């Protein structure tokens, strides 16, 4: 999965530069002035940046988790096959036991049977032919045993390979999860450094910004021009309005961006891949001028953020940590592409 980071608006870059400059000045030892406290706007921009930077590794985590689930199914299947092969080998050993006993009663255990029962049957058939001391019945039974033993060894090798791959994805998922949680923890630390009054003011500023941008997370029913499967998907998405964004989540109480899109289309009988990148790669691309309600919108790039077009120049999406599923103007973020499931 790519590690593209969302482009930052010029104003944010200027703020970051000013913030760094201010930080550099504050490091100079002076007796006459304390280090300047970051402004509320500085904190808000830093928190927003951290939330945005957590989105790309969130999608990476989703891809790894999907791979991990697939490997887990393969490991479970390999274990089942291994158990069946072991049972088959055990049953053949039980059948061969009476043959060896009969041979013993008739004048001692055949050396080749003794060799086999010692647990190393690979060279048995060649030796048996050379010695010419084994009945065809014993040869058939031991040939079957040798085949099953080889199959068992192969199954064990395959299971070990799959298990190793599973362990590697678990380690990779843990590392990516730590990256996301680290950024979110840093954002929470910044927010916790604010007074209650400052937090209230920040929330009020956010609500004002959302209102001016035309964003809404109030519960609503879809009444646009979509029909068929697209309408079913949008009906579901609208029913999630106001539910919180949560990284890595596919519902039903919270969603990340691709989790919402996938869940909505799943209700319409369409199975989409898990991540933004996979949805982009799999979808039929449509131009911005040909958008239809239900189309998947990709903002910024092909790996980071998506939502669904609802018509009338608007889209529904799960935005980022700290916000709820909402309806926003299509151009409230840089439009990258669109695809149709």
d(CA 134, CA 287): 76
Please say if 317 is a catalytic residue.
Answer: yes
Q: Is the CB of residue 328 less than 8 Å from the CB of residue 297?
A: no
Q: What values do phi and psi take at 49, rounded to 5?
A: -65, -45
Catalytic, 305? Answer: yes
DSSP strands (E only) in the chain: 284-286, 296-299, 305-311, 314-317, 326-329, 335-340
* Residue 216 φ/ψ, nearest 5 degrees: -145, 135
Residues 6+ apart with CB under 8 A from 93: 145
The catalytic position among 148, 274, 317, 320 is 317
DSSP code, position 248: T
| Rounded-to-integer distance, Cα 169 and Cα 261, Å | 25
Separation between Cα atoms, residue 297 and residue 257, nearest integer Å: 11
Active-site pick, 305, 316, 320, 324? 305
Question: How far apart, in whole angstroms, are the C-alpha atoms of residue 69 and residue 271?
Answer: 16
> Which active-site residues does the annotation give?
257, 305, 317
């Amino acid at each position: 999965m790519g590690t593209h980071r969302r482009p930052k608006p010029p104003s944010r870059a200027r703020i970051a530069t000013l913030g760094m400059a201010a930080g550099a000045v504050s490091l100079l030892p002076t007796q006459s002035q304390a280090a300047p406290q970051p402004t509320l706007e500085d904190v808000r921009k830093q928190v927003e940046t951290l939330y945005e930077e957590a989105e790309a590794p969130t999608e990476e985590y989703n891809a790894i988790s999907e791979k991990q689930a697939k490997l887990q199914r393969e490991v479970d299947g390999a274990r089942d096959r291994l158990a069946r092969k072991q049972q088959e080998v055990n049953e053949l050993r039980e059948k061969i036991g009476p043959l060896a006993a009969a041979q013993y009663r008739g004048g001692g255990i055949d050396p080749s049977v003794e060799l086999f029962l010692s647990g190393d049957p690979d060279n048995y058939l060649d030796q048996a032919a050379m010695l010419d001391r084994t009945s065809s019945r014993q040869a058939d039974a031991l040939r079957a045993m040798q085949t099953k033993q080889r199959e068992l060894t192969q199954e064990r090798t395959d299971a070990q390979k799959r298990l190793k791959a599973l362990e590697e994805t678990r380690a990779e998922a843990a590392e990516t999860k730590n990256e996301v949680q680290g950024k979110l923890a840093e954002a929470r630390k910044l927010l916790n450094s604010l007074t209650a009054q400052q937090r209230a003011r920040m929330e009020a500023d956010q609500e004002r910004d959302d209102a001016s941008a035309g964003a809404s997370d109030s519960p609503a029913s879809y009444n646009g021009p979509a029909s068929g499967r697209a309408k079913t998907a949008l009906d579901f998405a609208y029913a999630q309005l106001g539910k919180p964004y949560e990284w890595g989540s596919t519902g039903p109480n919270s969603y990340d961006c691709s989790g919402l899109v996938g869940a909505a289309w799943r209700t319409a009988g369409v199975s989409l891949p898990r991540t933004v990148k996979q949805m982009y790669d799999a979808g039929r691309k449509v131009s911005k001028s040909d958008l239809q309600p239900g189309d998947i919108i990709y903002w910024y790039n092909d790996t980071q953020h998506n939502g669904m077009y609802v018509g009338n120049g608007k889209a529904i999406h799960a935005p980022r940590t700290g916000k709820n599923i909402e309806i926003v103007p299509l151009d409230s973020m840089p439009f990258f592409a669109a695809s149709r499931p």
